[in-house]
Structure 1
Amino acid sequence: MTRYDFDKPVDRRGTACVQWDGVAERFGVDGLLPFTISDMDFPSAPPVLDALRERLAHGVFGYTDWRVSGFREAICGWYATRYDTELDPEQIVYGPSVLNQLSQLLRMWTEPGDGVAVHTPTYDGFRKAVTGLGRELRGVPLGDATALERELARPDTRILILCSPHNPTGRVWTEPELAETARLAAAHHVAVISDEIHADFVHDGHRHLPWTRFAPDRGRWALITSASKAFNFPSLNGSYGIIGDPGERAAFIRRMETGEGLASPSVLSLTAHIAAYQEGAPWLDAARGYVAGNLGLLAQRLNGAFPALRWTPPQAGYLAWIDLRALGVSDEALQRELIERERVAMMPGAVYGADGFVRFNVGCPRGKAEAGAEALVRALTRLV
């Protein structure tokens, strides 16, 4: 078996990196050790890097047509082998990012003032997209089926944004939950946009089920995602969607290629996606296992110091969503301790609408994860 060296640190400073170079802008202090933005400190999969080098060596970077690149075929192959799901390649669309696709679909399927339901806590990118377009964000507590039906039943609720797996909690939806969500959306004529960008990082013991398994043959629904999260190349700017209804799909493509002027995608993104999906599975499985080790280390350290937390690692992803309410620690006090004394940066739960939580990115070498875990425990110990 190939051995991947996830322990080796990579210096990301000075690379225009949001997590490292942008820490002062977000936290007001420079030089913090960051565990923040949801990208990883690992180089991407070797097959991805090899494919990018080969494409760069060609030297010509003209306009690109994603339909003839092998992009759709790679996606279909990935879903068949990874999720036992057959896709119709004609249903696949391209977009520069998942959030860009979301914004386009919100414009297509809603009007200003319409309601958009999301589960809470909520990824802040959803909030910015919805409210920035003048739509009303309607929160549904995660796992509250009654609240979900109540919000979907409101006559001006037009869309449910389903984050699957859920960010920031890392929850993987079960088949009965997804089937019930589909039933409620259909009953109340609410479109579903399923953001599945964290799907490829589901941990052992859990299973991701694509929304295509639950979506109707016609009507307004979309699955939006990218290989960039799991294979760590978000700055290459590329994503894809699956839109089942032919009319809605044609309208989306027309909007992207004419009104938005996005007919030619990034060739490096196409190259990275194809390589990741065709050859990157062994690296991804190794990365998931390594991150699971980081999460296990964090659980051991937190629960050893504070048994009342009973914290368990997420079912998906490399973002540890930690409920600190049992300790009675305020977000403001914890942030002061982390920033001023421990010199580390972690995302406060308030960013996602949940006071009393912290989000800790462990997609990093073990030494860095250990340093973050120790800093968090020390800060909490002083406050408790």
Structure 2
Amino acid sequence: MKSFDEVIDRQGTFCTQWDYIEDRFGEKGLLPFSISDMDFRSPEAILVALEARLRHGVFGYTRWNHDDYKKSIRSWYQRRFSSTIQEEWIIYSPSVIYSISKMIGLLTDEMDHIVIQTPAYDAFYKTIQDNNRIISRNELIYQDGQYSIDFIDLADKLSHSKAKVLLLCSPHNPSGRVWTRAELEKIVQLCNQYNVYIISDEIHMDIIHGGNSHIPITDAAIDVSKVCICTSASKTFNIPGLGGSYLLTPDEQIRKEFLLALKNKDGLSSASVLGLTATMTAYNDCEDWVDELVSYLHVNLQTIQDFLVEHLPTLHLTIPDSTYLAWIDVSQLPYSSEQLQAALVHHGKVAIMSGDTYGDEGKHFIRMNVGCPRSKVVEGLQRLKKAIEYLEQQKE
């Protein structure tokens, strides 16, 4: 796992997290823990496969609809989740958010309700609103550092006559919850009762901590024709810049409509050859690397928790079930979100996401991406401490 300790300079690579941090935080030169990609090199097997493909030197239009691509995905699901995926369910897509947006367009009409569980990944709000649909919030219950689903409220939201889709995040971003089989089966039962289709964003499915198990929504479904999964290898293997994702869509008619939109309406059906190569190699050859990654990330999260207990006891982190995102409770600080962010940026010189980015329900949190060498995590924590010490000095 020593390779995860390697510090790699990403500046000057047109990197969103490092080169364009000013766009989100208004200041250059910050140490970033923001957008959810990692500072790690992708697995060696992927780099070797990409190098071989580059040496070939011809990068023409590329098909995704073939056995090699689909078998790699099916094999991953079987090995990783003991889940049997039908070959015909698999559809290529340029990105998970494109998939979600397109599925919303296929399954709903303007001004229909899309139910989400909040706090929620910020792109969910934008995608729903810019498709002229109505956000229906099923606020998660936060108690004693843990999140749970308010099923009474969920039933109420799903029963609305205009509720057509539940946009599920599984595992959940930003809280990191891995939904149990019982929770997923209750969600499915309610959606079936009220005839609501489930779109499940499962992009964080591979990074699971503490003996938890990710269950694909297709395995919990009563009727698989009423669910789809939108996901990608990009988060797990740090390859979002190569492009590409996929859907698992059991309903044949929905698949046909999606492919019509992908190819004929939007002209996006030709896959990135490098993204395709990386995904197949990742799923076929890099499982051990993922296990090592998860172990390393878990220690990063533990490092934050231990630091807060020792140095910043008014802050609290519950180790998440999943993801490399530390969802830090700052509710005991006597400062507003705006005051904290100003201190982090201008005095700590560190970029950590404000929790209200993910809805009002997140306003007492900050989200820190720990997909990076431990030395960076430690430096970020020191800067967080410096920012809070500055605020305390201003009070005196």
TM-score range relative to shorter protein: over 0.9
Cα distance, 1:4 vs structure 2: 4.5
Quote the residue 2:377 is aligned against.
Answer: 369
Q: In the alignment, is the contact (CA less than 8 A) between 2:36 and 2:369 conserved in 1?
A: yes
Quote the residue 1:100 is aligned against.
Answer: 98
Of 160-169 and 208-217, more deviation after overlay is shown by 208-217
Quote the residue 1:68 is aligned against.
Answer: 66
Q: In the alignment, is the contact (CA less than 8 A) between 1:217 and 1:245 conserved in 2?
A: no
Cα distance, 1:247 vs structure 2: 1.2
Cα distance, 1:311 vs structure 2: 2.3
Quote the residue 2:367 is aligned against.
Answer: 359
| Secondary structure, aligned partner of 2:65 | helix
How does the TM-score come out when normalised to structure 2? 0.94
Quote the residue 1:249 is aligned against.
Answer: 255
Q: In the alignment, is the contact (CA less than 8 A) between 1:97 and 1:239 conserved in 2?
A: yes
Corresponding letter in the other structure for 2:86: D
Cα distance, 1:65 vs structure 2: 1.2
Q: In the alignment, is the contact (CA less than 8 A) between 1:69 and 1:270 conserved in 2?
A: no
* Equivalent runs, 1:315-330 vs 2, <5 Å: 315-330=321-336
Which one of the candidate residues 78, 88, 96 is aligned to 2:86? Answer: 88
| Secondary structure, aligned partner of 2:247 | strand
Quote the residue 2:391 is aligned against.
Answer: 383
Which one of the candidate residues 7, 17, 24 is aligned to 1:9? Answer: 7
| Secondary structure, aligned partner of 1:108 | helix
The alignment status of 1:145 with 2:143, answered yes or no, reads no
How does the TM-score come out when normalised to structure 1? 0.97
Of 219-228 and 176-185, more deviation after overlay is shown by 219-228
1:219–1:87 distance in 2 versus 1, CA, 3 Å: closer
| Structure 1: gaps of 5 or more residues | none
| Secondary structure, aligned partner of 2:206 | helix
| Structure 2: gaps of 5 or more residues | 141-148
Distance in 2 between the 1:365 and 1:35 partners?
A: 12
The alignment status of 1:333 with 2:333, answered yes or no, reads no
Distance in 2 between the 1:101 and 1:311 partners?
A: 32
| CA offsets 1:228-280 (integer angstroms, 9 cap, x no match) | 00100001110001111111111111211111112211111110000100111
Distance in 1 between the 2:210 and 2:44 partners?
A: 23
Cα distance, 1:317 vs structure 2: 0.9
Corresponding letter in the other structure for 1:38: S
* Equivalent runs, 1:237-276 vs 2, <5 Å: 237-276=243-282
Which one of the candidate residues 210, 213, 224 is aligned to 2:219? Answer: 213
Give the superposed CA RMSD: 1.3
Q: In the alignment, is the contact (CA less than 8 A) between 2:166 and 2:199 conserved in 1?
A: yes
Of 155-164 and 139-148, more deviation after overlay is shown by 139-148
Which one of the candidate residues 55, 58, 64 is aligned to 1:57? Answer: 55
Cα distance, 1:69 vs structure 2: 5.8
* Equivalent runs, 1:292-303 vs 2, <5 Å: 292-303=298-309
Distance in 2 between the 1:380 and 1:190 partners?
A: 45
1:347–1:29 distance in 2 versus 1, CA, 3 Å: same
Of 104-113 and 137-146, more deviation after overlay is shown by 137-146
Distance in 1 between the 2:47 and 2:224 partners?
A: 39
1:33–1:307 distance in 2 versus 1, CA, 3 Å: closer
Quote the residue 2:286 is aligned against.
Answer: 280
Q: In the alignment, is the contact (CA less than 8 A) between 1:217 and 1:244 conserved in 2?
A: no
Quote the residue 2:176 is aligned against.
Answer: 170
Identity %: 42
Cα distance, 1:326 vs structure 2: 2.1
Aligned residues: 382
Distance in 2 between the 1:308 and 1:274 partners?
A: 45
